[in-house]
Amino acid sequence: MILQTVLLLIGLVLLVKGADWLVDGASVLAKKKNVSDLAIGLTIVAFGTSAPELVVNAVAASGNYPDIVFGNIIGSNNFNLFVILGIAGLIVPLSVQSTTVWKEIPFSLIAAILLFLLANNFIFGNSEGFSRLDAGIHLALFAGFLYYVATQLKSDPSNEKIEIKDYSTMKIWGLIFIGLAGLVGGGKLVVDNAVSMAQSLGVSEKIIGLTIVAAGTSLPELATSVVAAMRKNADIAIGNIIGSNIFNIFLILGVSGLIRPMAYNSGFNTDLYILAAGTIFLFLAMFTGKRHKLDRWEALLLLTSYLLYTGYLIGLES
């Protein structure tokens, strides 16, 4: 059990650092090839914070561990919304742009509702659970969201500047290959040892996926949003979370479903209800107190809700 825990932690470190190295190397390479800051931000940098979830889910889907696949994504989204936004909002009240309130937050709610409808076969009535058709719909909607983000950034040139370092060609490719190796190796360690821990502790893969794996793969988002909040850059703090939640459902579950159609455990429905309720609360919070702002008391309520939710999960296994 101790060895499994250590290997799981090593895997999480490799995932986070691997994503960081890959983004560094790929960003410099793209810049040397005259790729625009906008394109780099939309693809390489955006992919970086979602890379841990993507790799873990690809490994879990390949190994036919659907509870890890769904648990990681739904758990990560709940961790992002309740814990990371809660912590960032306690550091500084988060002012939110009107477009985020009226477009991105509702879009993240639509993503959760669509996942619920497709995974429970309420639309197509197939018996596969989450099928390749469902995955294709997710990926098509992700492409639409990416197009929307691109148009938003083009209308605000101040958002296009990304700080990119200057590396030698050898260092660029070294970072890319080491980053990829870290992601692949870390993902394998996380999935294998998460499954082993679940078996050793006598708990379900669902609970491990919703808690330990989900929190671990959300570390890049945690770091990004906390630093942004400390610098009083509320747009990045909250935009990073909402964007990541949309990426997770549409892109990462889409890719996972293409790799392998998966059975869906209806026990995840409760976790999706909580995700939807938290997203609705965030939307409504924009109209209480100061308009378009997440106040500290609302952030504290998000954190408290997550603690109660975690207690509920633990109670399910006892």
Instruction: List the domain range (segments joined by +) for residue 78.
Output: 2-317
What was the pLDDT predicted at 160? Answer: 47
Q: Are 92 and 234 in contact (CB under 8 A)?
A: yes
What was the pLDDT predicted at 46? Answer: 67
- What confidence tens digit (pLDDT) does each residue in 235-276 have? 778 887 888 899 999 999 999 999 999 999 999 999 999 999
Query: Token pair for residue 258?
Result: 């293409």
Q: Are 82 and 303 in contact (CB under 8 A)?
A: yes
- Please state whether beta strands 293-294 and 94-95 pair in parallel, antiparallel, or not at all (unpaired): antiparallel
Q: Which residues pair with 95 in a beta bridge?
A: 293
**pTM recorded for the entire structure:** 0.87
For residues 32-52, average pLDDT: 70
Task: Give the alpha-carbon dihedral of 100, 105, 108, 113, to 10 degrees.
Answer: -150
The alpha-carbon radius of gyration of the chain (Å, integer) is 19
Read off φ and ψ for residue 130, nearest 5 degrees: -100, 105
Alpha carbon distance 157, 263 (integer Å) = 44
What was the pLDDT predicted at 86? Answer: 95
The count of other CB atoms within 10 Å of the CB of residue 288 is 12
- What confidence tens digit (pLDDT) does each residue in 188-236 have? 899 888 888 887 888 888 998 999 899 888 888 888 788 888 888 877 7
- What confidence tens digit (pLDDT) does each residue in 51-77 have? 888 999 999 999 999 999 999 999 999
Alpha carbon distance 12, 213 (integer Å) = 8
The DSSP code for 127 is S
Q: What CATH number does the domain containing 60 carry?
A: 1.20.1420.30
Q: b or e along 43-74 (b: 16 or more beta carbons within 10 Å of the residue's beta carbon)?
A: ebbbbbbbbbbbbbbbbbbeeebbbbbbbbbb
Query: Token pair for residue 88?
Result: 């960032």
Number of domains in the chain: 1
What was the pLDDT predicted at 64? Answer: 93
Q: What is the DSSP string of 269-294?
A: HHHHHHHHHHHHHHHHHTTSSSTTEE
Residues 6+ apart with CB under 8 A from 51: 15, 18, 19, 22, 23, 183, 220
